[in-house]
Chain A
Amino acid sequence: MRLRIAHSTSYRYEPPASGVIQILRMTPGSHDGQYVAEWQIDVSTDSRLDTHQDAFGNITHVLTYGPIAELTITVEGMIETHDTGGVLRGTDERFPPSLFLRSTPLTGVNPAMAAFARELRSESEDDVLGFLHGLMMQINEHMTFDEDPTNSGTSAVEAFGLKRGVCQDYAHIFIACARSAGVPARFVAGHFLRSDGMVNQQAGHAWAEAFVPDLGWVGFDPANAICTTDAHARVAIGLDYLGAAPVRGTRYGGGMETLTVAVKVDQAGGRQGQSQSQS
């Protein structure tokens, strides 16, 4: 499937900030189920935009500029995806999977979650994949999708207690539980083509990947209760949201900061073919 993705992030600083530094993780890489046909980043200022790769192999851009009152970062591109049943192949794996057992402040567990994970784990015995599927379905049932109570700093424990949250919270809970049951898991930031035809979205999507022995990394999207499909475009990975967030940065001076995000994910219409073949 060919996905056309447009993603714009605008900051307005009032009064103007004297300087900003931001790390953008907005550029996807290719793997066997995903090919980036076109991709570009536009920034509304004449600032420097240095390309690097972070430790996990995410493509990052570092933006520095100031003084500044308004900043808009637009990314646009086209990604060709294939359904691989959630199994990830051809990614740049720089660390042993066990690194992704490491817990972070956003992906800790409390006794209730640990017990919840332990119970599911013992039910499925040696079947790690079965455990992960069960975990995904249980989290999806436990939680109600609600944008209001949580924000980007909400931890897995808080969201689990509230029983409410957005895709990012679902992913954090999934990761926290998988790790506490001894299964390496990581956070994925990306985009999702909604099946209900909603093209305009308020934010990017987030899901999780877990490591299954003999199979490798598998994508689980607990907010939609499915393994990743060709509707998922994978942009960045990290130990949690903070490691994979599209924009992280800091600013000097300034006062109020207003942030607006608009995401558009659409299926690119294939043009009519003009092929003939001789057989």
Chain B
Amino acid sequence: MLSRTAENLYWLARYVERAEYLARTIEATQRVTALPNTYIGKTNEWDSALLTAGVSASFYELYEDADERNVVDYLSFSPANPSSIRNCIENARLNSRSVRTALTSEMWDTINGAWIDLQEVWGKGAKTREELAKFLRFVQETSLRFDGSAYRTMLRNDAYWFSRLGLHLERADNTARILDVKYHVLLPEEEHVGGPLDYYQWTSILRSVSALTAYHWVYRETLKPWLIADLLILNDSLPRSLASCYGNLVRNLDQIGVAYGRQGAAQRHARGVRNRLEHSHMDDIFQHGVHEFIQEFIADNGRLGEIITKQYLI
């Protein structure tokens, strides 16, 4: 396969995953901010939404206040934000078009359809909260359809594996970012642990990775910060956990390695990160600092992206 094709497939999946993640973040933030201030404290939730999306700096170049209207606009529709949902879908479609023959018609239809809707239905953005809710649902459904079509219709060859790499790398990055921005509410030594503030914050973290129900299945207890961290970092069976993402990255990289008859730095690096996750225990992570652990992970994950690019995509 041409490395250019691999690159398009990889970024296509990344953009779709990113769009879905942004939609979830906006939804979860709206939910938290709908509560009275006494419940959620004085932190500006919209500001931390910008931080988890990694676009805080560029936002403040254009806007002064991080209020609901500005942030929602910037994250969803702004053409000025390179990773707004609109731009994600446009980029996804651009990438799909150049590898049209490597995609199945179901995948193409999903992306192309979403792109057309984006122009025709959402060309002027969302005016009301109700409209926005519809828009966010539309984005999430696009991602679900795309992911489902890939899973159900693609040949299991390098095209599929490269698209999975993009998806899981992006997903790991997103989960890690949420943890990074929110780690301060997960710290056990926080004074008001168990207060309503924490409860709503924790719920919102879990919602943003659609893991609230999963949490109760796994732990069968009230929300506890170290268990939330355990679920999102180490639990192999949660699809958005760091461990699960790396399990998938390692498997897909291995399949690429076997098919091409060559292993390289990407395989070694991904396995290294996976091993650390597999052999980590939550107690140790808390002892050495969740923040440091997550920072290191984000750096490692970024490095894997660079290595994959160098090894396969250019």
A residues contacting B by CB (< 8 A) are: 2, 29-32, 35, 37, 57, 80, 82, 90-93, 270-279
Secondary structure dominating the interface of A:
loop
* B2 located at the interface, meaning its Cβ lies under 8 Å from any Cβ of chain A in the complex: yes
Contact (Cβ within 8 A) A37 B254 = yes
A49 → chain B closest CB, angstroms: 20
Closest B residue to A268 by CB, please name it. Answer: B258
Contact (Cβ within 8 A) B279 A35 = no
* B276 located at the interface, meaning its Cβ lies under 8 Å from any Cβ of chain A in the complex: yes
Considering the complex, which residues of chain B in the window 280-314 have a beta carbon less than 8 Å from any beta carbon of chain A? Answer: 312, 314
Out of B3, B250, B262, B276, name the residue touching A35 (CB < 8 Å).
B250
Out of A31, A80, A277, name the residue touching B263 (CB < 8 Å).
A80
Out of A90, A272, A276, name the residue touching B279 (CB < 8 Å).
A90
Secondary structure dominating the interface of B:
helix
Chain B 229-262 interface mask (CB, 8 Å, partner A; 1/0): 0000000000000000000001000100111111
A28 → chain B closest CB, angstroms: 13
Contact (Cβ within 8 A) B260 A35 = no
Contacts of B312 in A (CB 8 A): 277
Contacts of A32 in B (CB 8 A): 268, 271-272, 275
Contact (Cβ within 8 A) A278 B4 = yes
Contact (Cβ within 8 A) B262 A275 = yes
Contacts of B261 in A (CB 8 A): 270-273
Contact (Cβ within 8 A) A90 B258 = no
- Docked Cα-Cα span, A276 to B313, in Å, equals 11
Closest 10 CB pairs between A and B? A270-B261, A90-B275, A92-B279, A273-B261, A273-B260, A275-B260, A35-B271, A277-B3, A278-B3, A271-B261
A57 → chain B closest CB, angstroms: 8
Contact (Cβ within 8 A) B262 A278 = no
Closest A residue to B262 by CB, please name it. Answer: A273
- Docked Cα-Cα span, A181 to B314, in Å, equals 53
B257 → chain A closest CB, angstroms: 8
Considering the complex, which residues of chain B in the window 1-51 have a beta carbon less than 8 Å from any beta carbon of chain A? Answer: 1-4
15 residue pairs bridging A and B, Cβ less than 8 Å apart:
A32-B272, A35-B271, A57-B279, A80-B263, A90-B272, A91-B279, A270-B258, A272-B261, A273-B262, A274-B259, A276-B2, A276-B3, A277-B3, A277-B312, A278-B4
Contacts of B267 in A (CB 8 A): 35, 80
Closest A residue to B251 by CB, please name it. Answer: A37
B206 → chain A closest CB, angstroms: 28
B249 → chain A closest CB, angstroms: 12
A89 → chain B closest CB, angstroms: 8
Closest B residue to A276 by CB, please name it. Answer: B2
Contacts of A279 in B (CB 8 A): 314
Contact (Cβ within 8 A) B262 A270 = yes
Contact (Cβ within 8 A) B275 A31 = yes
- The tally of residues in B whose CB lies under 8 Å from a CB in A reads 24
* B278 located at the interface, meaning its Cβ lies under 8 Å from any Cβ of chain A in the complex: yes
Closest B residue to A272 by CB, please name it. Answer: B261
* B274 located at the interface, meaning its Cβ lies under 8 Å from any Cβ of chain A in the complex: yes
Contact (Cβ within 8 A) A278 B2 = yes
Contacts of A92 in B (CB 8 A): 278-279
Contact (Cβ within 8 A) B260 A30 = no
Contacts of B257 in A (CB 8 A): 80
B156 → chain A closest CB, angstroms: 15
B160 → chain A closest CB, angstroms: 15
- Docked Cα-Cα span, A260 to B9, in Å, equals 50
Contact (Cβ within 8 A) A30 B3 = no
Considering the complex, which residues of chain B in the window 126-167 have a beta carbon less than 8 Å from any beta carbon of chain A? Answer: none
Q: Which of B3, B261, B267, B274 has the most CB of A within 10 A?
A: B261
Contact (Cβ within 8 A) B276 A275 = no
A205 → chain B closest CB, angstroms: 22
Contacts of A276 in B (CB 8 A): 1-3
Contacts of B1 in A (CB 8 A): 275-276
- Docked Cα-Cα span, A82 to B275, in Å, equals 14
A91 → chain B closest CB, angstroms: 7
- Docked Cα-Cα span, A35 to B257, in Å, equals 13
- Docked Cα-Cα span, A31 to B254, in Å, equals 15
Out of A91, A93, A271, A277, name the residue touching B258 (CB < 8 Å).
A271
Out of A29, A35, A277, name the residue touching B254 (CB < 8 Å).
A35
- Docked Cα-Cα span, A221 to B138, in Å, equals 60
Contact (Cβ within 8 A) A82 B268 = yes
Contacts of A30 in B (CB 8 A): 271, 274-275, 278
- Docked Cα-Cα span, A91 to B275, in Å, equals 8
Closest B residue to A90 by CB, please name it. Answer: B275
Given A32-B272, A275-B260, A275-B262: 19 more A-B contacts, CB < 8 Å: A29-B278, A31-B275, A31-B279, A57-B279, A80-B254, A82-B268, A90-B275, A91-B279, A270-B261, A271-B258, A271-B259, A271-B261, A272-B261, A274-B259, A275-B1, A276-B2, A276-B3, A277-B2, A278-B314
Contacts of A82 in B (CB 8 A): 268
Contacts of B276 in A (CB 8 A): 90
